[in-house]
A and B are shown apart, each in its own frame.
Chain A
Amino acid sequence: LAHGAGGKATNTLVDAVFLEAFRNPLLEAMTDGATVTAGGARLVFTTDSFVVSPLFFPGGDIGDLAVNGTVNDLAVCGARPLYLSAGFVLEEGMPVDDLRRVVDSMARAAARAGVQVVAGDTKVVQRGRADGCYITTAGLGVLTADVELSPENVRPGDAVLVSGPIGDHGITVMLARGELDIDADLASDTAPLHELCALLLKAAPGTRVMRDATRGGVATVLAEIATASEVAIVVDEAALPVRPEVAGAGELLGIDPLYVACEGRMVAIVDGTDADAALAALRAHPLGAGAALIGRVAADPEGLVLLNTAFGGTRIIDLLVGDPLPRIC
């Protein structure tokens, strides 16, 4: 099953199975969360499941991932996150200390994000039928300002920003599996983005769309936006913030950091005239200190992401279909 890497295979699976079965206008929007109205309030509702191996890694664990991931899905929709639910699938024999560690870290993450975990559920499955522990969280947030975020708003001339160095989380987790025996001074970027999102929306009213760059990384987010908005996104390779440790590990493993998951980074596309203000707002927050303007939106070629490389070429950045196998003959 190549369907988990977050690329085209995942999209095909989602389209073919889930969208087909549950078809409704809110789901078809295919955003991180759905905006619903209940009792006059505009709410954003989302859910996400978390599986990660190992459960603990430098900079975080599955617990704070499960909180931050859902918080971020709400935040990039422009909502203030309020409530979470958490469901656990535990593998028989998982040490209770480990579980306690996970839950403590969830509690800390929830406190940091200003959300309450208000409902939960636990199931235990036989040994060997789960990888230690899986967590599913759902989240509810409220839209306070009158924001209208959608890739369809993206226009030529808009600026493309990322909130910090890319690829830290994915590379950290990969190295934490210990198969390579590499010590890199790296930690996951897992963090709640709600404050950063709020700051950005205030500083740049012309924010078109925000996305947290999780599975498939920044490249996948950009490719999806370009397809949805029928514009071109032109990224400048030299402007991409990548830590040297991440670049080094990526080089070693043949993995392009553009495609590596982040858990506390977002991509934002803002009106070109708001670019400076947006960048300043992001950089004013500790989580956005490494924010960068990485590219621009152009009219042509529709639906494609292009990378201006350091060598003066222009490379097409596409969704990956599966695992990245070399294309060189």
Chain B
Amino acid sequence: MRVRTGIRVEGIVQGVGFRPFVHGLATTLGLAGLVGNDAGGVFIEVEGDAAAVERFLGGLSCPPPPAVIERITTRRLSARGGGRFAIVGSAVGGRRGALVSSDSATCADCLRELRDPADRRHGYPFVNCTACGPRFTIVTDVPYDRPHTTMAGFAMCAGCAAEYHDPADRRFHAQPVCCPACGPRLALRDRDGREMPGEPIEEARGLLRRGGILAVKGLGGYHLAATAADEAAVAALRARKRREDKPFAVMAPGLPSVRRLAHVGPAEEALLTSAARPIVLLRRRAGAPLAEAVAPGDRSIGVLLPYTPLHHLLVREPLVMTSGNASDEPIAHRDAEALTRLRNVADAFLTHDRPIHVRTDDSVVRVFGGGALPVRRSRGYVPRPLPVPAGGPAVLACGAELKNTFCFAEGGRAFVSHHIGDLENYETFRAFREGVEHFERLFGIAPAVLAHDPHPEYLSTKYALERAGEQELPLIGVQHHHAHIAACLADNEHAGPVIGVAFDGTGLGTDGTLWGGEFLIADLTGFERAGHLRPVPLPGGATAIREPWRMAAAYGVPNDLDVARRNAAAWDRVVAVGRAGLGAPPTSSMGRLFDAVAAVLGVRDRITYEGQAAVELEQRADPRERSAYPVRLDDAEDGGPSFVVPGAELVQAVVEDLRAGTPAPTIAARFHNAVGDLVVAGAVRLREATGLTTVALSGGVFQNLLLLERAVTGLETAGLTVLVHHRVPPNDGGISLGQAVVATARATSCAL
């Protein structure tokens, strides 16, 4: 019997070779019909023998990666006859559910062409196909079609057009398809933007070999590159970029080269070679051929593999590849802007004429328990949706202040944005606004609810309030640490309730003080504060965060310690500020407790990037040390199960150990072990009180692998189930996802 069936496919089905796959499947089965993209995904009509149509539907559900199917719906149509199966032009309009895919590293087939002297794309730095190449960073609108990408300005030559239209070709409907005859062109430019003579890549390599600093236009922005083994070049890059200590990432030409730099396990290898190509933080090999200035005093090193053809052509030995910006500015992504902003940093610019539409930083991951622990989720992952509970109105969650991301959630999908950065910076705040608009257009989501952090000074909060006022939208404020725990729940597709342990720097608490060492009983709708560090003053507010030694003073360490001597000029005053409480808001922050210990041990008195003291304390700790300082939970005054942790006793124990002559690495480890014990003790106590057996760990402090390992091991030994982050970072980059799921849960559980 001849039947005709209409099919709608939703998921990541555009720009991933899905239509050619459908075409092939239909042709093989001798079916007639059509396939096309629209703003909702892919629409198909197939006609033929009923059994063949059935087989077609079966095959359709298993497309080749990177396509991901979320939903297939069918309806019966009346047969029309005809024998051909055609790919039709994109339909405009309709609901914009089509998922734009993330940028993907150059595939093996394209790499082969790149290296094949006989291929017409030999050595062409923009080779790509339906399986690889730029996506999110070049898409300007949906549906995903060439006119809606930054390739719109490049007319295909006859050769490329033939490939593009040939259903048998692997470039069939590959939107960014191009070749040397018709596509983008590489150029090496001097500081004044003048094109330099010679073959650009040859010249650029020469410049790097001679110790020069090269700005390289990548997928999501400009990088600054220097030869990683060249001490002078890397030091010059640090000085010109005004980046004092924060480690640089290194791009190595291949896995063998990575292995010379660092220890690579199977999980690390899988992440390094994945299509997302994140920066993977690895344990550095002793004597690795790296300049000291790459990652001063750091036992780890961030490494990534080439992810564009240009990188493959350029990188012959490990290169520092750091974001193209000065100090705290966001990464430069427009050519004119890069030329002016990086003029005094780079010696030359390796650039091209394919515009970058969305500035997207490299992603960063660590490996924990054989999987990824994201530190920054951006290029290669964004805008892949995360599954969240469905129902409720469309939500825009505005995120936190630093490491900002925003998140749109609707119909069971959450789109967490690329890494936006520190909103206090004007350029970043502009990127935030533009990014929100872009996502709204791309995913066709008109938010009906705005979720935000209750901190009144966050620019993301101010944005939410302003927009809610203008559009008369309801607001849902989500407490910072509740958002952390909710993010961890969403990351694990868990609804709670759980025992949540949220350890971070600071976030505004419901009592108006700064929280950050919190035990919560939480689900997606709400939470109860069940335990926390005993508050101490934060002397000088934000200054105390930049100057960890102040936390040693706030924790009351004796003034005959080295930390007091090193800071003698202001020690007494800072103690007085803390005591008077003037300019010293109280905080229960775990990050600040780490700061105090780092300062006492002489690890760091002043930081130049966020979390530096804690990062260095972790580096310093001796992982073989298993003993710990005792931890105590004091009953809270309300008589309930809640408790308060005297952090000062841990600092006191550190001080005594130091006086006893114990080496700093041992002390640092004992402190880490104690905090791990604290997590376990708190969770066990709350299990007894509530019967809950699952613990969610979130907050930036849990990027600390030593602590995380101790806590997880201890919790599991105690018979508890542990949730950690896999897809969004435990730091504030995950806050927007947490806000989104809380807003959805509240909106569905009660009237707003």
Q: Chain A residues in contact with chain B, CB under 8 A? A: 8, 174, 177, 179-182, 251-255, 301, 304, 306, 311-316, 318, 320-329
Could you tell me if B426 and A327 are in contact, using CB atoms closer than 8 angstroms?
no
How far apart are the CA atoms of A281 and B402 in the complex, in Å? 43
9 tightest CB-CB pairs across the interface, nearest first?
A254-B541, A253-B583, A321-B456, A254-B540, A179-B580, A326-B542, A314-B426, A254-B543, A329-B505
Q: Which residues of A contact B459 (CB under 8 A)?
A: 316, 318
19 cross-chain CB contacts under 8 A:
A174-B582, A254-B584, A255-B541, A311-B327, A312-B242, A313-B425, A314-B329, A314-B426, A318-B457, A323-B585, A325-B541, A326-B545, A327-B401, A329-B400, A329-B401, A329-B506, A329-B591, A329-B700, A329-B731
How many Cβ-Cβ contacts under 8 Å join chain A to chain B?
119
How far, in Å, is B699 (CB) from chain A's closest CB? 8
The 8 Å CB contact of A254, one of B326, B400, B583, B731, is B583
Give the contact stretch, choosing among B13-21, B55-63, B569-577: B569-577
Could you tell me if A326 and B506 are in contact, using CB atoms closer than 8 angstroms?
yes
Residue of chain A at shortest CB distance from B733: A329
Could you tell me if B540 and A253 are in contact, using CB atoms closer than 8 angstroms?
yes
Q: Which of B544, B577, B732 has the most CB of A within 10 A?
A: B577
Could you tell me if B329 and A327 are in contact, using CB atoms closer than 8 angstroms?
no
Could you tell me if A316 and B401 are in contact, using CB atoms closer than 8 angstroms?
no
How far apart are the CA atoms of A316 and B455 in the complex, in Å? 16
Could you tell me if A252 and B577 are in contact, using CB atoms closer than 8 angstroms?
yes
- With contacts A325-B508, A328-B506, A329-B403 known, is A320 near B457, CB below 8 A? yes
How far apart are the CA atoms of A301 and B429 in the complex, in Å? 11
Could you tell me if B542 and A329 are in contact, using CB atoms closer than 8 angstroms?
no
Q: Which residues of B contact A251 (CB under 8 A)?
A: 540, 543
The 8 Å CB contact of B457, one of A179, A254, A327, is A327
Q: Tell me if B166 is interfacial: C-beta within 8 Å of chain A.
A: no
Q: Which B residues from 514 to 553 make CB contacts under 8 A with A?
A: 514, 538-545
How far, in Å, is B417 (CB) from chain A's closest CB? 17
Could you tell me if A324 and B457 are in contact, using CB atoms closer than 8 angstroms?
yes
Q: Which residues of B contact A328 (CB under 8 A)?
A: 401-402, 505-506, 542, 545, 610
Q: A311-B242, A325-B541, A328-B506 are in contact. List 8 more A-B contacts (CB 8 A).
A: A253-B582, A254-B542, A318-B459, A325-B457, A325-B585, A326-B541, A326-B545, A328-B610
Q: Which of B423, B458, B542, B591 has the most CB of A within 10 A?
A: B542
Could you tell me if B732 and A329 are in contact, using CB atoms closer than 8 angstroms?
yes
Could you tell me if B583 and A252 are in contact, using CB atoms closer than 8 angstroms?
yes
How far apart are the CA atoms of A254 and B574 in the complex, in Å? 11
How far apart are the CA atoms of A271 and B110 in the complex, in Å? 60
- With contacts A180-B576, A313-B329 known, is A327 near B582, CB below 8 A? no
How far apart are the CA atoms of A286 and B574 in the complex, in Å? 35
Could you tell me if B610 and A252 are in contact, using CB atoms closer than 8 angstroms?
no
How far, in Å, is B33 (CB) from chain A's closest CB? 51
Residue of chain B at shortest CB distance from A174: B582
The 8 Å CB contact of B424, one of A177, A301, A316, is A316
Q: Which of A254, A306, A318, A326 has the most CB of B within 10 A?
A: A326
How far, in Å, is A320 (CB) from chain B's closest CB? 7
Q: Which residues of A contact B400 (CB under 8 A)?
A: 329
How far apart are the CA atoms of A182 and B582 in the complex, in Å? 13
How far apart are the CA atoms of A328 and B328 in the complex, in Å? 14
Could you tell me if B427 and A329 are in contact, using CB atoms closer than 8 angstroms?
no
Residue of chain A at shortest CB distance from B580: A179
How far apart are the CA atoms of A322 and B507 in the complex, in Å? 16
Q: Which residues of B contact A182 (CB under 8 A)?
A: 573, 576
Could you tell me if A313 and B328 are in contact, using CB atoms closer than 8 angstroms?
yes
How far, in Å, is B605 (CB) from chain A's closest CB? 14
Q: Tell me if B504 is interfacial: C-beta within 8 Å of chain A.
A: yes
Q: Tell me if B430 is interfacial: C-beta within 8 Å of chain A.
A: yes
Q: Which residues of A contact B263 (CB under 8 A)?
A: none
Q: Tell me if B462 is interfacial: C-beta within 8 Å of chain A.
A: yes
How far apart are the CA atoms of A182 and B480 in the complex, in Å? 36
- With contacts A254-B544, A318-B462 known, is A327 near B424, CB below 8 A? yes
Residue of chain A at shortest CB distance from B732: A329
How far apart are the CA atoms of A323 and B580 in the complex, in Å? 16
How far apart are the CA atoms of A323 and B584 in the complex, in Å? 11
Q: Which residues of B contact A312 (CB under 8 A)?
A: 242, 326-327, 329
Could you tell me if A179 and B424 are in contact, using CB atoms closer than 8 angstroms?
no
Q: Which residues of A contact B327 (CB under 8 A)?
A: 311-313
How far, in Å, is B84 (CB) from chain A's closest CB? 54
How far, in Å, is B287 (CB) from chain A's closest CB? 35
Q: Which B residues from 664 to 700 make CB contacts under 8 A with A?
A: 700
Map CB proximity to A onto B421-435 as digits: 1 under 8 Å, 0 otherwise. Answer: 001111101100000
How far apart are the CA atoms of A53 and B395 in the complex, in Å? 47
Could you tell me if B541 and A316 are in contact, using CB atoms closer than 8 angstroms?
no
How far apart are the CA atoms of A253 and B537 in the complex, in Å? 12
Q: Which residues of A contact B457 (CB under 8 A)?
A: 318, 320-321, 324-325, 327
Could you tell me if A324 and B541 are in contact, using CB atoms closer than 8 angstroms?
yes
Q: Which residues of A contact B574 (CB under 8 A)?
A: 252
Q: Which residues of A contact B732 (CB under 8 A)?
A: 329
Map CB proximity to A onto B645-671 as digits: 1 under 8 Å, 0 otherwise. Answer: 000000000000000000000000000
- With contacts A318-B459, A325-B541 known, is A253 near B427, CB below 8 A? no
How far apart are the CA atoms of A168 and B326 in the complex, in Å? 33
Could you tell me if B514 and A326 are in contact, using CB atoms closer than 8 angstroms?
yes
How far apart are the CA atoms of A220 and B692 in the complex, in Å? 49
Q: Which residues of A contact B542 (CB under 8 A)?
A: 254, 326-328
Could you tell me if A316 and B700 are in contact, using CB atoms closer than 8 angstroms?
no
Q: Which residues of B contact A253 (CB under 8 A)?
A: 540-541, 543, 577, 582-583
Could you tell me if A315 and B425 are in contact, using CB atoms closer than 8 angstroms?
yes
- With contacts A253-B540, A254-B540 known, is A327 near B514, CB below 8 A? no
Residue of chain A at shortest CB distance from B610: A328
How far apart are the CA atoms of A318 and B425 in the complex, in Å? 12
Residue of chain B at shortest CB distance from A312: B326
How far apart are the CA atoms of A242 and B538 in the complex, in Å? 24
Could you tell me if A304 and B506 are in contact, using CB atoms closer than 8 angstroms?
no
- With contacts A182-B573, A252-B570, A325-B514 known, is A314 near B427, CB below 8 A? yes
Q: Which residues of B contact A314 (CB under 8 A)?
A: 329, 425-427
Q: Which B residues from 411 to 427 make CB contacts under 8 A with A?
A: 423-427
Q: Which residues of B contact A320 (CB under 8 A)?
A: 457
How far, in Å, is A54 (CB) from chain B's closest CB? 14
How far, in Å, is A204 (CB) from chain B's closest CB? 29
How far apart are the CA atoms of A323 and B574 in the complex, in Å? 19
How far apart are the CA atoms of A277 and B352 in the complex, in Å? 48
Map CB proximity to A onto B551-585 as digits: 1 under 8 Å, 0 otherwise. Answer: 00000000000000000001001101100101111
Residue of chain B at shortest CB distance from A305: B426
Could you tell me if A325 and B455 are in contact, using CB atoms closer than 8 angstroms?
yes
How far apart are the CA atoms of A324 and B583 in the complex, in Å? 9
Residue of chain A at shortest CB distance from B462: A318
Q: Which residues of B contact A180 (CB under 8 A)?
A: 573, 576-577, 580, 582
How far, in Å, is A124 (CB) from chain B's closest CB? 31
Residue of chain A at shortest CB distance from B242: A311
Could you tell me if A329 and B544 are in contact, using CB atoms closer than 8 angstroms?
no
Could you tell me if B508 and A316 are in contact, using CB atoms closer than 8 angstroms?
no
Could you tell me if A322 and B545 are in contact, using CB atoms closer than 8 angstroms?
no
Residue of chain A at shortest CB distance from B403: A329
Q: Which of A174, A253, A301, A311 has the most CB of B within 10 A?
A: A253
How far, in Å, is A180 (CB) from chain B's closest CB? 5
Residue of chain A at shortest CB distance from B427: A314
Q: Which residues of B contact A304 (CB under 8 A)?
A: 426
Residue of chain B at shortest CB distance from A314: B426
Q: Which residues of B contact A306 (CB under 8 A)?
A: 426
How far apart are the CA atoms of A181 and B610 in the complex, in Å? 31
How far apart are the CA atoms of A325 and B540 in the complex, in Å? 10
Residue of chain A at shortest CB distance from B731: A329
How far, in Å, is A246 (CB) from chain B's closest CB? 14
How far, in Å, is A22 (CB) from chain B's closest CB? 23
Could you tell me if A255 and B583 are in contact, using CB atoms closer than 8 angstroms?
yes
Residue of chain B at shortest CB distance from A180: B576
How far apart are the CA atoms of A324 and B424 in the complex, in Å? 14
How far apart are the CA atoms of A327 and B404 in the complex, in Å? 12
